Amino acid sequence: MKLLLVLTFIMSSAWAKQSKIDKLYLKSLEHYKNRDYFTALDLIAHQYKYATPDQNIQHYIERLVGYTGTHYFNTFNDLELRKLNIPTTDLIMAKRNLYLKKFNYVHKRLKRMPKGHRLYPESLLVKGTAYLMDKKYQKAISTYQKCSEAAYGWEKRTEDKQQNYFAVLKESCIINIARIHYKQKNYKLAIRHYEDIPKKSFKWPYTLLEKSWAYYYTGDYNRSLGILLTYNSPLLESYFTPEAEVLKALNYFKLCLYEDALAVIDKYYNTFAPRSTALKKVIARGNKKDLFFFNMMFTPIKDTEKENKFLRNLVTQMTKRIKYNLDLNSFYQMNEEIYRANKSANLPLLLKMQKDLKEQINHYVKVSMYKFINEIHSLSSEMFNLKLEILSRKRDLAYKNKTFRKDRSRGNFKNIKREPHQEFWTFRSAFWADELGDYSLALDSTCKTRRIDRNE
């Protein structure tokens, strides 16, 4: 009799629990139909922190995340994420493990990722990065290769923002392959991979610098300098990177064009370093204001430019970053839900999440700006060392009563190293946008010395 009573109690409580979940699911579905995606997600995901949902609900949560992004799960711990048991949470956990350098767990979490899932290419990117950080380079290359192919497949059958997302994923994987080849000193292979990034891509301006380094290490200093010239173009003005100036000076140094190298170094000290100090002051002033960096991202460019030229560059660069764009997307989604003002929407949750997101974006922009300033100042010491080296070599030449055999000419096409798959022509004041990034100088190396004649 007692046993029967216990069984009846267990069954009735299980039935009551199930019926509560069913009700919540129906309520969440109602929110979904009203396009209150965050409210719908919160209602359902909250229930499954400690119990794994059935397949139907798993698919439903996946569909909701397609609208909200993964930001909502930031407050879930690993145990709670595991309970949900869906590809989205597997990927979030894998990323957390990657950050903690627990590579085995990264692979474990991504093992079940279905090949047809929209997150499959991104999971391959994470997996490849785990291999890369674990120094398993061959595995990393083959995983990135698969990633670029899978992302390309999705890119072809999607449109607009989704298409951009898969294009960026594909390009990230290709760039990572190039970086591995670069790391292994296979510079030519690295260059061929960098060249696979289309010029219209957000990522392309950044690959120019990496490609220039690769050319520098192959000894093709003229090509390296030509590519770096691209950053001077008004089209890429916003992508100014101090490292490009250091590399320019190094290239001139290798060609023994000491005067050119010194000109670059002087410009760095006279223009960029003071501008960076001024930027630091502007940032420090605004740092005291709440959400200063977040608000700056929405200030008209003309106003930011007035403050400091670098500020405009940094804001433009930031707007092209993937993380910033994903966060911004979630922010706008929340905004939409708030301003739609459906009575049933969970407004306190939305406002709290939006505040968190604003702070997150604010922090991200702040860190990026300080990184830029620190980079300028740390590279200053590199430039200083280079200047010392140049001055010492010039002094040695003077002591040995020697000078360079040739004066620097404007360049001769004989110095251009052309591969069979390349074409070259002289640039004669005809700008073709498709040629951006394909420039080369043709300067003679002046490293051979001769004794100075007494009559000179």
- Residues lying near another protein in the complex (CB under 8 A) are found at 195, 223, 226, 229, 232-235, 410-413, 416, 418, 420-432, 434-435, 438-443
- Nearer CB in complex with another protein: 234/348: 234
What span, in angstroms and rounded, lies between the C-alpha atoms of 91 and 106? 9
| Least distance CB 34 / another protein (angstroms) | 45
Rounded to a whole number of angstroms, the minimum distance from the CB of residue 225 to another protein is: 8
Per-residue burial over 277-301, b = 16 or more CB atoms within 10 Å of its CB, e = otherwise = eebbebbeeeeeeeeebbebbeeee
Rounded least distance, CB 188 to another protein, Å: 13
How many angstroms separate the Cα of 5 from the Cα of each of 2, 12, 16, 58, 276? 5, 10, 16, 34, 77
Closest CA to 334 of 365, 360, 357: 357
The distance of closest approach from Cβ of residue 415 to another protein in the complex, given in angstroms and rounded to an integer, is 9
Cβ(91)–Cβ(122) under 8 Å?
Answer: yes
Residue showing tokens 């301006």? 205
Nearer to another protein, 27 or 417 (CB): 417
CB nearer to another protein: pick between 121 and 437: 437
**48 contacts: CB under 8 Å, gap ≥ 6:** 57, 61, 83, 84
Q: How many CA atoms lie within 13 A of 334 on its CB side?
A: 24
Residue placing its CB nearer to another protein in the complex, 426 or 455 = 426
* Cα–Cα distance for residue pair 384/368, rounded to 1 Å: 25
Nearest distance in Å: CB 193, another protein: 13
Which CB atom, from 15 or from 424, has the smaller least distance to another protein?
Answer: 424
| Cβ proximity to another protein, 217 vs 424, nearer residue | 424
Bridge partners (DSSP) of residue 404 are: 449
Q: Phi/psi at 170 (nearest 5 deg)?
A: -60, -45
Comparison of 69 and 242: residue with beta carbon closer to another protein: 242
DSSP states of 26-58 as a string? HHHHHHHHTT-HHHHHHHHHGGGSSSPPPHHHH
Task: Report in angstroms how near the CB of residue 210 gets to another protein at its nearest.
Answer: 17
Q: Do residues 381 and 414 make contact, with C-beta atoms less than 8 angstroms apart? A: no
The two tokens of residue 88 are 């989205």
DSSP label at residue 411: -
Question: Whole-number minimum distance, CB 442 to another protein, in Å?
Answer: 6
Give min distance, CB of 438 to another protein, in A: 4
| Least distance CB 264 / another protein (angstroms) | 11
Euclidean distance between CA atoms 315 and 282, whole angstroms: 14
Asked if 242 contacts 268 with a C-beta cutoff of 8 angstroms, the reply is yes
Q: State which amino acid sits at residue 262.
A: L
Minimum CB separation of residue 280 from another protein in Å reads 27
Q: Give 381 or 429: the residue with its C-beta nearer to another protein.
A: 429
SS3 call for 62 = helix
CB of 426 to another protein, least distance (A): 6
With contact defined as beta carbons under 8 Å apart, do 208 and 201 qualify? no
Residue with Cβ nearer another protein (100 or 235): 235
With respect to another protein, which residue has the nearer C-beta, 15 or 217? 217
Cross-strand pairs, 403: 450
Q: Residue 372 corresponds to which tokens in the numbers above? A: 């830029």
Task: Collect all residues with Cβ–Cβ distance below 8 Å to 200 and sequence separation of at least 6.
Answer: none
Q: Which is nearer to another protein, 82 or 203 (CB)?
A: 203
In degrees, to the nearest 5, what angle opens at C-alpha 163 toward C-alphas 161 and 167? 115
Strand partners, 94: none
Q: Which is closer to another protein, CB of 9 or CB of 413?
A: 413
Q: Least distance from C-beta 111 to another protein, angstroms?
A: 37
